[in-house]
Structure 1
Amino acid sequence: MSANAVRPARELLLKEYRGVLSTNSKSMPGFPFGSVVPYCLDADGNPLILISRIAQHTHNLQKDPKCSLLVGERGAEDVQAVGRLTLLAEAEKLSDELAIDAAATRYYRYFPDSANYHRAHDFDFWVLKPVRHRYIGGFGAIHWLNEVTLANPFAGKGEISMIEHMNSDHANAIAHYVELSGLPTTAPATLVGIDSEGMHLKIGEGIYWLAFPASCNTPTQVREALVLLARAEIWPTAEQAEA
């Protein structure tokens, strides 16, 4: 059933941090224009992108905000056998200074190098507001989904406080999460995001999302999950957490 596809579709959006943005071409009317863009999810769980004012996408979106973002599982040998998500959306450029500041704070945690060219050049933040989702979980598992995104209850000062605390005081715990989940150890990991369903770690230039054993709706529940994972010998699944 489609309802069972909502969570894996959302987790795919969380796990990845780049996709193919397609817009309606202004210079070649009638043709879609696609290119790869990095993204993170904003406080409402919608993809947040940063693009130059001279980019083709900007010209296209200014004329027609309708677009799509294709996200697929990274590193797949058979792309038709793994999950992929096409998010049909209306793009909205952020213009309110408070919204821009909140977007910048979040986006720079995920992509710190972007702060330099954002300040030096004319770049704008855009939010992709979903209209509908097309999720394919493998052969035959095809679904149209209307509601996939989930707001982050910790976005803002609460999330920043938890992230700073973990990075400054619990680097060993973060290193344990990396070892436990089999993530790359090519560079030290830092925590860059926490949502109700998991956390984002940045390792070198890569971003990785790890699911909590159970959803967390309060900072106390996040703390309990992080302590549990720091003491775990294997990464617990949702079923194990409920047992």
Structure 2
Amino acid sequence: MSRTDPFRPVDDTARTLARELIDGARHAALATLRPDLGLPSVSRIALATDDAGGPVTLISTLADHTQALRTNPACALLVGDPGKTGDPLTHPRLTLHATARFISRESADHTTLRSRYLTLRPKAKLYVDFADFGFVRFDISDALLNGGFGKAWRLTQADLWPDQRTT
């Protein structure tokens, strides 16, 4: 039995939809591996973007997913919300494969991220300066875009950030 490749060639439609999903995401499902058992775990995190359009979050050191990322920074983010009506599988979603990078509070990067994050997520002002909270930048390696039934693409880092060099 032969299998056909379900992925379409990447085009501007896919690139635009992926960027819209990243830029519009207020939260994401974060997939990590639990360090105690090596089992997958998923949690919801708040999400914003840095000045370059890359995903970032502000998380507590008390969270299980923080400990998981410190042990193994490989992770995945799922962005995209189902619509209010209809089958949730018909709505676009994007899986981002990433490496989490913790940002030191003493760095200039932290100051820049803090300012942008509060502009995008002003309610975070309540806890952004708590000692147990810190920023995590997600360095994206590639992505899987599902635009609904029969519309799937594999995207590279260059597809998501065409004007920037890869990390």
Partner of 1:131: 141
Provide the C-alpha distance between the structure 1 equivalents of 2:127 and 2:49, rounded to a whole number of angstroms: 20
Q: Which has the larger radius of gyration?
A: 1
Change (3 A) 1:52 1:111: same
Distance 1:129 1:83, change over 3 A: same
Task: Supply the AA of the counterpart residue of 1:135.
Answer: L
Cα distance between partner residues in 1 of 2:162 and 2:130:
31
Quick one: structure 1 residues 45 and 149, their matched pair in 2 at CA, closer, same or farther if it must change by over 3 Å? farther
Equivalent of residue 27 in structure 1, options 23, 33, 36 = 36
1:132 CA drift (Å): 0.7
Gaps of 5+ in 2: 1-8
Q: RMSD across aligned C-alpha pairs, in angstroms?
A: 2.0
Structure 1 position 51 matched with structure 2 position 59:
yes
Question: Is 1:118 aligned to residue 128 of structure 2?
Answer: yes
Superposed structure 1 runs of 4+ greater than 6 Å apart: none
Structure ranking higher on relative contact order (CA contacts 8 Å, 6+ apart): 2
Write the deviation string for residues 102-153 of structure 1: whole angstroms up to 9, x where unpaired. 000011112222222222341110001101100011111111100343389x
Secondary structure of 1:88's counterpart equals strand
- Corresponding position: 1:42 with 2:57: no
Larger relative helix fraction: 1
Pair 1:13 & 2:22 matched: yes
Match of residue 238 from structure 1: none
Kept in 2: contact 1:134–1:144 (CA 8 A): yes
Pairing partner for 1:92 from 101, 122, 133: 101
% identical aligned pairs: 30
Aligned residues: 152
Q: Which runs of 5 or more residues in structure 1 are unaligned?
A: 153-243
SS of the residue 1:12 aligns to? helix
Within 2, Cα distance between the matches of 1:72 and 1:118?
25
The alignment partner of 1:34 has SS state of: strand
Q: Distance in 2 between matches of 1:3 and 1:61?
A: 33
Q: Output the amino acid matched with 1:109.
A: T
Per the normalisation by structure 1, the TM-score is 0.58
Q: What is the SS of the residue equivalent to 2:150?
A: coil
